Structure 1
Amino acid sequence: MHGLLIIDKPQGLTSHDVVRRVRRLFRTKRVGHTGTLDPMATGVLPVAIGEGTKLVQFLMAGAKSYRATLKLGETTDTYDAEGTILQRRPLPPLTSDDIVRCCQKFIGDIQQTPPMFSAIKKNGIPLHQLARQGIEVEREPRNVEISRIEVLEVSLPYVTLEVDCGKGTYIRSLAHDLGEELGTGAHLTALRRTRNGFFDEADAVPLDRLESMPVTDIPLLSPLEAMKGFALLPVSIDAARALKFGIPPALEAIEGPCSIAEGDTAGLIYDGRLLAVVQFAPGRQKERRGDFELLRVMIPGDGDD
């Protein structure tokens, strides 16, 4: 079986715990997720199976949305409620407007330092392993994009936010940094991913419910359905045959309108099947290499079964 499951991850499991349980469920090792959620976090976790794992890199690149609750006045070593409290600070008389103004400073392309308790590696060792040994190392700030922060509720010391952001954003770091900007300190007490790329809470099925279903009833999206939100371009039969040999098509082999821009990612389809993921690169035709760069080719005839 090949495709994508949209799982509602429960609290207390790592993303890899979910992958292990899906491997047992489908009796296959070819399973991967499209974006780590901490054990404390819940919500939308797309999990790819079989040929669907070839699509993970494209699905991970999409924007994400979170609902997060912060507790002001306390900092922890993990930046969340699972860590050890490092400092307590008194709360000044903050208003909702104060918090909204502070949040605005974090919208846009910003520099963010990842937390020590993270899967990022330093000399091949995950930072969280070093952190558990009491070792703290310098982390390079990274460029991340936060497009929206909305303050949903203020009930001090707790603040609940909705955040829309790009790949690689740590909401724990955002909570910590907001606390520092407010002068109170803060850590994350609850986190739920409400959207991952083009999939949201309405698409997600709780893990325990999936495990109680017959495998044949599980709502597994085909690789073609997993490319929801990307341009899907039908190709001619000759172009479909050429793709089996790694030959990308010319623009005239696309059957129907092609309104994508140079550099866009798209899926090439034939007879209701996803054949390849490509990037539109019209300049390649001058080199007689077609108008598309092949990023991933699916197994011919096996993509959607």
Structure 2
Amino acid sequence: MHGLLIIDKPQGMTSHDVVRRVRRFFRTKRVGHTGTLDPMATGVLPVAIGEATKIVQFLMAGQKRYRATLKLGETTDTYDAEGTITQCRPVPPITFADIARCCQKFTGNIEQIPPMFSAIKKNGTPLHRLARQGIEVEREPRNVEISRIEVLEVSLPYVTLEVDCGKGTYIRSLAHDLGEELAVGAHLTALRRTRNGFFDEGDAVSLERLETASIADIPLLSPLEALRGFALLQVSTEAARALRFGIPPGLQSIEGPCSLNEGDTAGLVHGGHLLAVVRFAPGRQRERRGDFEFLRVMNQGDEDD
């Protein structure tokens, strides 16, 4: 069994808890998710099974969308409602426009300091382990991209935002930083991921549905279907055979138009199956190594399992 399953993660579970449940349902250990959600968070969690685990890295690269609720006036050690309150401050009559202006300061390519309660490691030790021992260490700022923050609702002390961002963005840190910019403090009280790359809530199934349905009724996307949004190039039969021996194709083996730019990622397809994920590298042809560089090669023998 190979493919991608879009799970609607419930609150109170870790992403790895979801992976364990999917492993039991499909009776396989080859299961991985495409981006951690905190236990408090809910929403879209793509889970790869079997051969589809080979394309997780490409699915994680897409933009994500979150609906986040903040409580102004209180900060916590975890930057969310699961932590201990560390400071309380009065909340003045902040307006919708005030918050919208503040949000603009956090859009674009910005530097963000990750929270202590995170899986990032310091000298091999996860920060959250140090935090639980009462140890706080200096964290290096990370470059993240937040392309949009829209204020959906203001009902003080609560504010609800919709955030579009790239990989590695901590919404908890964003909530904390917005609170500091507003000079009142804030922490995250609710978070839902509504979109992950090319997958949204409409694609997701609940764990309850998963565990009460038969495998035949589960909307499992094939590895080929999972690469929606990527260029998919049909290769000739001869090129497909050569690929089995590690020989990348040249442009002359592509059936149909190829409008890639150098460095673009694409999928190679034959007979309705994904054969490989490649990077377009036309300069390699001069070295007689084809026009594509392999990033991941699928086990074609397992595609029909």
Q: Is the shorter-chain TM-score for this pair beyond 0.5, marking a shared fold?
A: yes
**2:49 partner amino acid:** I
Q: Which residue does 1:66 correspond to in 2?
A: 66
Q: Following the alignment from structure 2 to structure 1, what is the Cα–Cα distance between the partners of residues 42 and 210?
A: 16
Q: Following the alignment from structure 1 to structure 2, what is the Cα–Cα distance between the partners of residues 87 and 246?
A: 59
Q: Deviations over 1:45-86 (max 9, x none)?
A: 000000010010000111100000000000000000000000
Distance 1:304 1:169, change over 3 A: farther
Q: Following the alignment from structure 1 to structure 2, what is the Cα–Cα distance between the partners of residues 281 and 211?
A: 44
Secondary structure at the counterpart of residue 301 of structure 1:
helix
**2:267 partner amino acid:** G
Q: Which residue does 1:19 correspond to in 2?
A: 19
What are the equivalent positions in structure 2 for 1:134-283 lying under 5 Å apart?
134-283=134-283
**1:163 partner amino acid:** V
Q: Following the alignment from structure 2 to structure 1, what is the Cα–Cα distance between the partners of residues 150 and 304?
A: 39
Q: Following the alignment from structure 1 to structure 2, what is the Cα–Cα distance between the partners of residues 37 and 172?
A: 11
Q: Following the alignment from structure 2 to structure 1, what is the Cα–Cα distance between the partners of residues 27 and 266?
A: 31
Q: Following the alignment from structure 1 to structure 2, what is the Cα–Cα distance between the partners of residues 51 and 248?
A: 20
What are the equivalent positions in structure 2 for 1:40-55 lying under 5 Å apart?
40-55=40-55
Q: Following the alignment from structure 1 to structure 2, what is the Cα–Cα distance between the partners of residues 142 and 226?
A: 29
Q: Following the alignment from structure 2 to structure 1, what is the Cα–Cα distance between the partners of residues 303 and 108?
A: 38
Q: Which residue does 2:30 correspond to in 1?
A: 30
Q: Which residue does 1:80 correspond to in 2?
A: 80
When structure 1 is superposed on structure 2, of 270-279 and 245-254 the one drifting more is: 245-254
1:224–1:304: 8 Å Cα contact kept in structure 2?
no
- Runs of 4 or more consecutive aligned structure 1 residues displaced over 4 Å after TM superposition: none
Q: Following the alignment from structure 1 to structure 2, what is the Cα–Cα distance between the partners of residues 48 and 304?
A: 16
Q: Deviations over 1:210-260 (max 9, x none)?
A: 111112221111000110110000000111011111111111110000111
Q: Following the alignment from structure 2 to structure 1, what is the Cα–Cα distance between the partners of residues 224 and 193?
A: 24
Q: Following the alignment from structure 2 to structure 1, what is the Cα–Cα distance between the partners of residues 177 and 248?
A: 46
Secondary structure at the counterpart of residue 55 of structure 1:
helix
When structure 1 is superposed on structure 2, of 53-62 and 123-132 the one drifting more is: 123-132
Q: Following the alignment from structure 1 to structure 2, what is the Cα–Cα distance between the partners of residues 225 and 128?
A: 36
Say what the alpha-carbon RMSD is for the aligned residues. 0.8
Displacement after TM superposition at 1:302 (Å): 1.9
1:72–1:156: 8 Å Cα contact kept in structure 2?
yes
Q: Which residue does 1:302 correspond to in 2?
A: 302
Identity of paired residues, percent?
84
Q: Following the alignment from structure 2 to structure 1, what is the Cα–Cα distance between the partners of residues 127 and 286?
A: 46
Q: Following the alignment from structure 1 to structure 2, what is the Cα–Cα distance between the partners of residues 23 and 148?
A: 35
Displacement after TM superposition at 1:304 (Å): 5.2
**2:43 partner amino acid:** G
Secondary structure at the counterpart of residue 290 of structure 1:
coil
Secondary structure at the counterpart of residue 209 of structure 2:
helix
When structure 1 is superposed on structure 2, of 48-57 and 212-221 the one drifting more is: 212-221
TM normalised by structure 1 equals: 0.99
Displacement after TM superposition at 1:122 (Å): 1.1
When structure 1 is superposed on structure 2, of 87-96 and 105-114 the one drifting more is: 87-96
Distance 1:7 1:304, change over 3 A: farther
Distance 1:304 1:224, change over 3 A: farther
TM normalised by structure 2 equals: 0.99
Displacement after TM superposition at 1:93 (Å): 2.0
Secondary structure at the counterpart of residue 260 of structure 2:
coil
Displacement after TM superposition at 1:116 (Å): 0.6
Secondary structure at the counterpart of residue 119 of structure 1:
coil
Q: Deviations over 1:234-291 (max 9, x none)?
A: 0001110111111111111100001111111100000100000001111111111111
Q: Following the alignment from structure 1 to structure 2, what is the Cα–Cα distance between the partners of residues 213 and 248?
A: 41
Displacement after TM superposition at 1:301 (Å): 3.2
Q: Following the alignment from structure 1 to structure 2, what is the Cα–Cα distance between the partners of residues 137 and 242?
A: 52
- Structure 2 unaligned blocks of 5 or more: none
Displacement after TM superposition at 1:303 (Å): 2.6
